């Protein structure tokens, strides 16, 4: 009985002394931290994806509070609603930013881009890219090992086993850019989602000459320049045998899509075209003029 009592009392005393020491230390050595950093961090999604360009969510919160401005800062995961809450906490104005999405700029599925060799090394795009040009005749396109899928924290990108290409789930994608960084061939681009989620882009990154590209892939950009000529907004540039559509200038008129002989330009989320060609041309003109206005 006595033994138990001694143990309880001595342990209690040790506990009490430690508590006092800890209390004093926490007061004396306290580091002042702006309480708003914690508040901002709390409204962030805590995905720690690094898509904002800062090391994790707490790093982003600290940057927001310390710089005192939200210019150029965006949490791609939370998007506009989260940024509005951050702005409210800091008493700042939130700057409106365009929602973005990851776009895979390669359409060379197994059908369009036949395999000419087979790779049996470690299952990684980065390694395959450093080893050789890839299993198809195209040395620029998707390698198909899915480094982008491994990099995505939001389960927003998947390999389609039929095409052998990655597909982005627009609703889940936060445009954090992890996949674009992971892709050794720089196929994935973070582009504005566009009005009503509609966007037009060149789904190819091949810089070979037209004849070489055509031999390797039936939907590759051959650099013919027809799209450049047809674009009424000068949104398309041609460099190194490859066309690129500037999303800032593109008005989604889809003239280039129709003109492309290879079908390398894709228009996403548009309603199907009307079968009559004349009527289509007219509507295209109309949309173009309204968009311009």
Q: What Å distances lie between residue 152 and 14, 26, 93, 171, 232, CA to CA?
A: 50, 40, 31, 14, 37
Closest of 19, 17, 16 to residue 27, by C-alpha: 19
Stretch near another protein under the rule CB under 8 A, chosen from 47-55, 130-138, 229-237, 248-256? 130-138
Find the shortest distance in angstroms from Cβ 136 to another protein: 10
Mask for 204-243, x = binds another protein (CB under 8 A): ----x---x-------------------------------
Residue 154, both tokens: 């939001």
Alpha helices in the chain (DSSP H): 2-28, 35-43, 56-67, 79-90, 125-131, 147-151, 178-182, 210-216, 226-230, 255-259, 277-292
Residue 114 has which token pair? 């036949």
| Nearest approach, Cβ of residue 124 and another protein (Å) | 7
- In the list 89, 90, 126, 288, the residue contacting another protein (rule: CB under 8 A) is 126
Within a 13 Å sphere around the CA of 40, how many CA atoms are in the beta-carbon half?
Answer: 29
Of the residues 10, 18, 46, 117, which one makes contact with another protein according to CB under 8 A: 117
How near is the Cβ of 131 to another protein at its closest, in Å? Answer: 7
Evaluate whether 88 touches 66 at the Cβ level (below 8 Å): no
Nearer to another protein, 74 or 138 (CB): 138
**Choice between 70 and 145, CB closer to another protein:** 145
Binding site for another protein (CB under 8 A): 116-117, 120-122, 124, 126-127, 130-134, 139, 208, 212
């Amino acid at each position: 009985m006595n033994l138990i009592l001694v143990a309880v009392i001595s342990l209690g005393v040790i506990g009490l002394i430690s508590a006092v020491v800890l209390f004093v230390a926490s007061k004396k050595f306290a580091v002042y931290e702006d309480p708003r950093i914690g508040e901002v961090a709390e409204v962030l999604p805590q995905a720690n994806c690094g898509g904002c360009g800062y090391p994790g969510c707490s790093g982003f919160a600290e940057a927001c509070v310390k710089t005192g401005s939200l210019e150029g800062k965006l949490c791609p995961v939370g998007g506009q609603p989260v940024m509005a809450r951050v702005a409210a906490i800091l008493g700042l104005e939130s700057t409106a930013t365009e929602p973005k999405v990851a776009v895979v700029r390669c359409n060379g599925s197994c059908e369009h881009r036949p395999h000419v060799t087979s790779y049996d090394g470690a299952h990684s795009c980065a390694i395959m890219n450093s080893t050789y040009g890839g299993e198809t005749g195209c040395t620029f396109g998707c390698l198909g090992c899915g480094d982008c899928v491994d990099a995505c924290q939001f389960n927003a990108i998947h390999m389609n086993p039929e095409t052998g290409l990655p597909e982005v789930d627009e609703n889940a994608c936060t445009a954090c850019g992890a996949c674009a960084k992971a892709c050794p061939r720089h196929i994935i681009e973070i582009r504005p989602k566009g009005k009503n989620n509609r966007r037009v882009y060149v789904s190819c990154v091949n810089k070979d000459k037209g004849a070489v590209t055509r031999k390797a892939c039936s939907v590759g950009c051959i650099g013919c320049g027809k799209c450049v000529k047809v674009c009424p907004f000068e949104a398309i540039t041609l460099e190194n045998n490859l066309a690129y559509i500037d999303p800032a200038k593109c008005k989604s008129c889809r003239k280039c899509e129709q003109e492309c002989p290879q079908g390398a330009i894709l228009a996403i989320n548009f309603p199907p075209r009307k079968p009559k060609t004349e009527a289509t041309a007219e509507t295209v003109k109309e949309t173009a003029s309204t968009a311009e206005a």
